Amino acid sequence: MSVNDPTLDWLSLSLVPGLGLGGAWRLLARFNEPSAVFSSPPRLLQEVEGIKQSQLKGLLSGKNYHVEGRKELKRLQDFGAHIICYQSPLYPPLLKQLVDPPLVLFVLGDPAKLSQAAVAIVGSRAATAYGRRTAFHLAENLASYALSVVSGLALGIDTEAHRGALQGKGDTVAVLGCGLDIVYPRQNRQLFAEIVKRGAVVSEYLLGTRPEGFRFPARNRIIAGLSAGVVVVEAARKSGSLITAQIALDIGRDVFAVPGQVDSFKSEGAHWLLQQGAKLVMSAADIGEEYGLSPMVKNIMNIPGQESNVDLEPDALALLQIIEPYAQTKEDLILQSGMFPARVSELLLLLELEGVIEMLPGDQVRKI
């Protein structure tokens, strides 16, 4: 790091206790850069409009935060992280449009991935099979439009979005609500490593920061800030995904939603967004068309349930044709198909393994 590199000043300012992002940006609006904040006399700091005395307590304590900043800088560098301050040319331009952009970003992988054209895919952690498959195929096919996929590495929709992007040989960015040295959830260790290798993992939190609940809404603003648009696949009416969508709207980004079953509470949030004017998405082509992009390869698939099933045997195809998206009992299928019960059970197992139906409690089944 060169003598003129401002990274240490930005990192040190972020370490001042009690100041917060709001306080930091009010000071920067007056003094332009962190070095000027640190060198300004108390009288001038106290004159800044909107700053509370409690926010200035850390700055006025006389403590040299550059000492702590150097320690954190070394820890991050030893860990292999890139440290990108707001003033860096690597800082994503779109992220600067947030009201409260991070002062510093910490990145594992390729920092340049943060500035690529991207779409966020978000949704429920406890997603249905339909939601998971939809997120995977959307992300997989967005790669053919040269669109990176941004998400939060959570279970469910986030996981499938990252996996789909990697499967499609595209780029993906995972935004964390904890330090880079903590893989959360633990089940995604392998996925985390793959994203570091082929994309980027980013956080605004120092090493060792635990994934506490209050950090995830802040994480969601970065997901929205890095993206040209946000796609909500499955989400309840009150959920973090709708917070992300609202942030996207607030900063002038596009909001897309994937329809689900009308009686599914897991799609209530997506359906509400559609009622409010969100763009309906059935395939990656809908998103590509919105941005005037053409696919680099043909045969972009629609969402699950619309793919061809020509490889299934005739009896399996015949049974699949009478299975509806809504729950049906196995007994009804036996009556409608005219097949023996053992044969129906055998075919249902085959169809479930193919991923075209979902077995439900109470010996029920539905098409997905």
pLDDT, position 83: 97
* Cross-strand bridge partners of residue 104: 85
Query: What is the reported pTM?
Result: 0.83
CATH code, residues 314-367: 1.10.10.10
Question: For residue 242, what are its two tokens?
Answer: 């709708």
The H or E element containing residue 290 is helix 284-290
Phi, psi (5° rounding) for residue 82?
-90, 135
Domain 111-290, what fold? Answer: Rossmann fold (3.40.50)
Question: For residue 129, what are its two tokens?
Answer: 């099979």
pLDDT tens profile 245-299: 999 999 999 999 999 988 888 899 999 999 999 999 999 999 999 999 988 754 4
pLDDT tens profile 191-226: 999 999 999 999 999 999 999 999 999 999 999 999
pLDDT, position 2: 44
pLDDT, position 360: 87
Query: Percent of the chain scored above 90 by pLDDT?
Result: 77
Residue-by-residue DSSP string for 296-352: SSS---BSTTSS--TTS-HHHHHHHHH--SS-EEHHHHHHHH---HHHHHHHHHHHH
